[in-house]
A = this chain, B = another copy of it.
Amino acid sequence: MSDSISSPVWELHPQLARDTVAIGDLPLSRVLLMNDANYPWLLLVPRRPGVIELIDLEEPDRAQLTSEICRVSHGLKAIAPCDKLNVAAIGNVVPQLHVHIVARRQIDFAWPKPVWGLLPPRAYDYEDLNRLIKVLHRALLV
**Which A residues fall within an 8 A CB radius of B?**
52-55, 62-63, 66, 69-70, 73-74, 77, 84-93, 95, 104, 111-114, 116-117
Contact = CB atoms under 8 A, between A and B. Distances in A.
Contacts of A93: 112
Given A84-B95, A92-B111, 19 more contacts: A53-B84, A53-B85, A54-B70, A54-B73, A55-B73, A62-B66, A63-B66, A85-B89, A86-B90, A86-B91, A87-B89, A88-B89, A88-B114, A90-B114, A92-B104, A92-B112, A92-B114, A93-B112, A114-B114
The copy count of this chain in the complex is 2
Main secondary structure of the interface of A (DSSP, over half): mixed
A15 to B, nearest CB: 12
15 contacts: A52-B84, A53-B84, A54-B87, A55-B70, A55-B73, A55-B77, A63-B66, A84-B92, A86-B88, A86-B89, A92-B104, A92-B112, A93-B112, A113-B116, A113-B117
A62 B69 CA distance: 11
Which has the most chain B C-beta neighbours within 10 Å: A52, A54, A63, A90?
A90
B88 A90 contact: yes
Please name the 9 residue pairs, one residue from A and one from B, whose CB atoms are nearest each other, closest first.
A88-B88, A92-B112, A87-B89, A66-B66, A114-B116, A55-B73, A86-B90, A55-B70, A93-B112
